[in-house]
A and B are shown apart, each in its own frame.
Chain A
Amino acid sequence: MESQQEPEHLPSGPTEVVNSIRERTIAENSMVVLLQGLQGQVTTVDLKNESTARGRVVNVDAFMNIRLDNVLYRDRRGQLTQLQDLFITGRNVRYVHIPDNVDIMKTIQSQLARIHRVRNFASHGGGRKEFATKTK
């Protein structure tokens, strides 16, 4: 099953939009963009403390903080708990499983394209200026 995300669809919700230049720059230069492209997918995150969380990716920010919902959380001892919403601090992430159906290159490319579109949209006057004559 292909990714649910349409390239044109910007993430909704209070904390999901990558709304800082710094975060975009960080994301653009790291593999975090791949994780950000997993939004909407169900996947498993392995934490450094040997626990795992499987749920739907709500958001991943540039610092690899991961927000999941409808989570099945397995602690180190193997005990299972259901969690409605889970926020994992980036520092605690060991692995993020990429679902088999995800095309990694395409996901990265579309995420980078989205970042560039957001950037260009934000410039005054709208759109790219490849041959700007003067600043306002």
Chain B
Amino acid sequence: MVLLKNLRPPTEGVRHEQAETTAVMDGQKVGCGTLYVAETRLSWFDGSGMGFSLEYPTIGLHAISRDVSAYPQEHLYVMVNGKLGGENEAEMAEKGADDEDDASSNSSSGDDDDEEGAITEIRFVPSDKAALETMFSAMCECQALHPDPEDDDSDNDFEGEEYDVEEAGEEHGHADIPSFYTCDEGLSALTQEGQATLERLEGMLAQSVAQQYHMAGVRTGETNAEFEDGMEVDAAAMEAGQFEDADVDHW
């Protein structure tokens, strides 16, 4: 099995580090080293510069196994879509380093690994079994940071237009309309500038730790202007006033 030698442990965004962790790949013991659960990738290094890393989009599931009848030691089980090891691994790591967002295409070596359902089973066996829960939770958090960008279920899109607050209002009466207007309703009324600003604001929101609800409400042009979106706009935001109405004229 080929291990990569030119990767270094991540230094930023490391949610959890677990030393004295043995890595076992598809039943083969790789060595004892340190597991790094970082926001960008999951990696493991044996301390002498050898190791491997996994991109979260390629991870199908992870679990805590305490069933010693299935495997003699309690461990963190990780199932990776596709095959690691051999030629694939070098290619996958380079793709991982160069292009974080496209890690799911690791079948580029020519094998249709993903479609055939080939998987790699990795077990991380820490010497400290009590750490398993923390390791697991850290992985859950990091995995959630990497939602599937190729989700073919377009309902997950912000840009879905299925929910029209006006139609809902006419059918059910205004009392049932939530006072918060989601992006879906207002998006159709946004100009290109509005769209760009919305994206910028979303980006800012994503970075904001506090997650305070200062996002401007976006509404369709026809809705009653008296209806607050339920979320106050930060007075300090210079362009706050522009979002009280999504009217084109405001620009």
Q: Mark A84-112, 1 if CB is under 8 A from B, else 0.
A: 11111111100000000000000000000
Q: Report whether A88 and B61 are in contact in the complex, using a CB–CB cutoff of 8 Å.
A: yes
Interface bin, chain B: 35 or more
A63 touches B156 (CB 8 A): yes
Whether A87 contacts B230 by the Cβ 8 Å rule is no
Taking a contact as CB atoms under 8 Å apart, the answer to whether A30 and B153 are in contact is yes
Contact (A29, B144) CB under 8 Å given A83-B65, A87-B136? no
A20 at the interface (CB under 8 A from B): yes
Contacts of A76 in B (CB 8 A): 117
Residues B46-87 near A (CB distance < 8 A): 56-57, 59-67, 70-71, 77, 81
- B67→A83 contact, CB < 8 A: yes
Contacts of B64 in A (CB 8 A): 83-86
Contact between chains at B67 and A21 (CB < 8 Å): no
Q: A12 near B: Cβ within 8 Å?
A: no
Q: B147 at interface (Cβ–Cβ under 8 A)?
A: yes
Number of residues on chain A facing chain B (CB within 8 A) = 52
* Interface bits A109-136 vs B (CB < 8 Å: 1, else 0): 0000000100110111100111110011
Task: Please report the number of residue pairs spanning A and B whose Cβ atoms sit closer than 8 angstroms.
Answer: 160
Of B4-12, B29-37, B89-97, B179-187, the one contacting chain A is: B179-187
Q: Is the CB of A25 within 8 A of B183?
A: yes
Given A25-B183, A87-B62, check contact A49 B156 (CB 8 Å).
no
CB distance A90 to B147 under 8 Å? Answer: yes
Residues of A within 8 A of B232 (CB): 123-125, 135-136
**Which among B62, B63, B139, B179 is the interface contact of A129 at CB below 8 angstroms?**
B179
Q: Which of B217-247 contact A (CB under 8 A)?
A: 226-228, 230-233, 235, 240, 244
Query: Are A29 and B60 interface neighbours, CB within 8 A?
Result: no
B156 touches A62 (CB 8 A): yes
CB distance from A56 to the nearest CB of B (A): 14
Distance in Å: Cβ of B219 to nearest Cβ of chain A: 13
Closest to A31 in B: B155
**In this assembly, does B14 line the interface, its C-beta being within 8 Å of a C-beta of chain A?**
no
User: Quick one: given A15-B141, A61-B144, A123-B231, are A89 and B59 in contact (CB under 8 Å)?
Assistant: yes
Where the two chains meet, the residues of B that have a C-beta atom closer than 8 Å to any C-beta of A are: 56-57, 59-67, 70-71, 77, 81, 117, 119, 133, 136-137, 139-141, 143-144, 147-148, 150-151, 153, 155-156, 158, 160, 162-163, 174, 178-180, 182-184, 202, 205-206, 211, 213, 215, 226-228, 230-233, 235, 240, 244
Beyond the given A22-B206, A116-B180, could you list 6 further A-B residue pairs with CB under 8 A, ordered by the A residue number?
Answer: A25-B184, A29-B160, A73-B63, A84-B64, A123-B213, A128-B179
Q: Which A residues are closer than 8 A to B by beta carbons?
A: 14-15, 19-22, 25-26, 28-32, 47-50, 53, 61-63, 65, 67, 71, 73, 76, 81-92, 116, 119-120, 122-125, 128-132, 135-136
